[in-house]
């Protein structure tokens, strides 16, 4: 992996890119891999860290979306199920099959969910993750220890995918670089360059040095998630395109759901589905759907969302978590394309591609699971707009960086795929790098070194939130681990004591928002 200096040099030197992508979340990185794999000279700029936005804050499901089936959005479900199969095929080190159990408390529920989930299985065709089946009360209790037993009539078992969203984004960034692409984090698009009414590039600012420079391209793709309208406004478009909806999650210790299976609650009080999912040794509970007025970089959970999650956990797992048992709380914002009014939970999760008269291509909406398809569609349009030689898409079978089917016991190691032996070598050469960053976290000091050297980690937050998932798993432990991580990172990046202290303070400010505060 090139150094940041080398990447910035490449950005500055290239007189004209074929494709310039603004935004380094799932959508932008997917489009970048799509463009580079077709042979186009492609650059991507991200103003924060890769996946700092919505793409590190998902429910971690690679799924067709059982809820969209209920809404009869069959095309979206089938597309997403196809993409789910491709994600497993192309990144088996990051995606795996997970069994879900729907606990059922009324007699009608068993045939209803049993049939619905059978249809879900059929729609996935050859890419099915496994058969669904109706469970007795006893089987449901065995598969979901901890589930409320009072009134339990049975359950339905089905299969879907799970992944580590931020690690998947890093694998996309590495794949892009392997394909000859140039991606930089902490570089912001501050405006668009226009010539004769056409968008021919973007003004950029390196946020580490404040250096300004211009990037010219045959076509510019706006993949900025909930910030899409900011970039459209740079192009003179001030229409409202998006509704923003917030979703929050809790992380609980594994004893709330001591099982390798996930629980899916098919109908919450606001008509949504809710999940309790084993992830990296803990249980993730979510999500909510609350309309918000505007996009923000670090959304915070609302009291109403926390109350909703607590209420439903208590209802289905029979126990209310104590404050100290809630290890982390995080929120993400959905960029939903407006189509009429109504609740955000009813808005479509389909993606939208817009081409402005200036030629600016915008891609937004969709789901993590459909990122590849979004990238393919966006680059198809970008090819036409930019007059690029037409090339077929190659990404449906493109293996991502680190591809490996080697069985690895620890989930925190498995995400490195074929790079794992190189991380192990780091700890062989220097045994102190084999130490855990914190006794309550599954990560080792070697991951810090690896993140700085090979994954463009620039801050303690990059390491603890997205290269490892420490902050999402246990916010207090991540805060306690931070000084040690900061020392090693500053050494790797040859940073001063003063800059290290500033970095740590920034991390503490962000991390405090992940600690659960109750209402009293």
| Positions 321 through 360 that interact with ligand FAD (CB under 6 A) | 332-335
Phi and psi torsions of 177, nearest 5°: -65, -40
x/- map, 227-246, ligand FAD, by CB under 6 A = x--xx---------------
Q: Which stretch binds ligand FAD (CB under 6 A): 54-62, 145-153, 173-181, 403-411?
A: 54-62
- CB of 360 closer than 8 Å to CB of 241: no
Residue nearest to ligand FAD (CB): 25
Contact track, ligand FAD, 163-202, x by CB under 6 A: -------------------------xx-------------
x/- map, 116-155, ligand FAD, by CB under 6 A: ----------------------------------------
- Burial class of residue 504 (count of CB atoms within 10 Å of its CB; 0-12, 13-18, 19+): buried
Question: Among 38, 41, 47, 467, which residue interacts with ligand FAD (rule: CB under 6 A)?
Answer: 47
Residue among 262 and 445 whose Cβ is closer to ligand FAD = 262
β-strands 328-337, 182-184 pairing: unpaired
Using the rule CB under 6 A, is 223 a contact of ligand FAD?
yes
Minimum CB distance to ligand FAD smaller for 62 or for 481: 62
| Ranges within 426-465 binding ligand FAD (CB under 6 A) | none
Q: How far is the CB of 355 from ligand FAD (least distance, A)?
A: 17
H/E/C letters for each residue in 10-29? HHHHCCCEEEEEECCCHHHH
**Contacts to ligand FAD from residues 4-43, by CB under 6 A:** 22-28
Contact 187, 205 (CB under 8 A): yes
Q: Tell me the closest approach of the beta carbon of residue 441 to ligand FAD, in angstroms.
A: 23
Among 41, 52, 381, 469, binds ligand FAD (CB under 6 A): 52
How many angstroms separate the CA atoms of 60 and 87, rounded? Answer: 13
Residue 366: partners with Cβ closer than 8 Å, 6 or more residues away: 27, 349, 350, 351, 373, 374
Could you tell me where the beta strands, DSSP code E, fall in 107-206? 133-135, 154-163, 182-184, 187-195, 198-206
What is the spatial distance between Cα 159 and Cα 144, in angstroms, rounded to a whole number?
Answer: 14
Query: Which residues, other chains included, contact 138 with Cβ-Cβ below 8 Å and sequence gap of 6+?
Result: none
By the 8 A CB rule, do 65 and 80 touch?
yes
Return d(Cα 39, Cα 36) in angstroms, integer: 5
Using CB under 6 A, list all residues that contact ligand FAD: 22-28, 45-48, 52-55, 57-61, 63, 188-189, 223-227, 230-231, 247, 287, 332-335, 366-369
């Amino acid at each position: 992996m090139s150094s940041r200096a080398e990447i910035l040099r490449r950005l500055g030197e290239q007189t004209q890119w074929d494709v310039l992508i603004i935004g380094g979340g799932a959508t932008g990185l997917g489009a970048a891999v799509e463009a580079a794999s077709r042979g186009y000279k492609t650059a991507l700029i991200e103003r924060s860290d890769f996946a700092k936005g919505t793409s590190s804050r998902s429910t971690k499901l690679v799924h067709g979306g059982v809820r969209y089936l209920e809404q009869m959005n069959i095309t979206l479900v089938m597309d997403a199920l196809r993409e789910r199969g491709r994600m497993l095929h192309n990144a088996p080190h990051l995606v795996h099959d997970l069994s879900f159990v729907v606990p059922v408390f009324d007699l009608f529920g068993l045939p209803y969910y049993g049939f619905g989930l059978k249809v879900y299985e059929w729609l996935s065709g050859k890419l099915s993750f496994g058969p669904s089946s109706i469970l007795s009360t006893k089987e449901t209790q065995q598969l979901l220890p901890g589930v409320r037993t009072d009134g339990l009539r049975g359950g339905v078992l089905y299969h879907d995918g799970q992944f580590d969203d931020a690690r998947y984004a890093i694998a996309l960034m590495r794949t892009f670089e392997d394909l000859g692409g140039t991606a930089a984090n902490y570089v912001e698009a501050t405006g668009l360059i226009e010539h004769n009414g056409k968008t021919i590039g973007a003004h950029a600012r390196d946020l580490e040095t404040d250096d300004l420079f211009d990037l010219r391209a045959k076509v510019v793709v706006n993949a900025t998630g909930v910030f899409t309208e900011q970039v459209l406004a740079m192009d003179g478009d001030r229409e409202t395109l998006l509704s923003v909806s917030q979703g929050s999650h809790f992380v609980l210790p594994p004893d709330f759901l001591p099982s390798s299976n996930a629980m899916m609650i098919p109908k919450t009080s606001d008509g949504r589905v809710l999940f309790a999912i084993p992830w990296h040794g803990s249980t993730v509970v979510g999500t909510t759907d609350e309309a918000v007025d505007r996009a923000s970089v670090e959304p915070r959970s609302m009291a109403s969302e926390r109350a909703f999650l607590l209420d439903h956990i208590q209802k289905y797992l029979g126990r209310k978590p104590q404050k100290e048992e809630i290890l982390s709380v995080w929120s993400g914002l959905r960029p939903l394309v407006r189509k009429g009014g109504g609740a955000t939970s009813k808005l479509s999760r389909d993606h939208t591609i817009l081409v402005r008269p200036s030629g600016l291509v915008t891609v937004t909406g969709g789901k993590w699971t459909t990122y590849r398809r979004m990238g393919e569609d966006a680059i198809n349009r970008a090819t036409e707009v930019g007059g690029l030689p037409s090339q077929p898409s190659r990404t449906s079978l493109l293996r991502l960086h680190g591809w490996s089917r080697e069985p690895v016991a620890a989930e925190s190691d498995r995400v490195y795929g074929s790079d794992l032996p190189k991380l192990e070598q780091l700890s062989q050469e220097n045994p102190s790098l084999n130490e855990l960053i914190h006794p309550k976290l599954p990560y080792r000091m070697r991951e810090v070194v690896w993140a700085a050297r090979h994954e463009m980690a620039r801050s303690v937050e990059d390491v603890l939130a997205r290269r490892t998932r420490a902050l999402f798993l246990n916010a207090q432990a991540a805060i306690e681990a931070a000084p040690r991580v900061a020392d090693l990172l500053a050494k790797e990046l040859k940073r001063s004591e003063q800059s290290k202290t500033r970095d740590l303070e920034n991390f503490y400010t962000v991390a405090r928002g992940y600690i659960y505060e109750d209402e009293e």
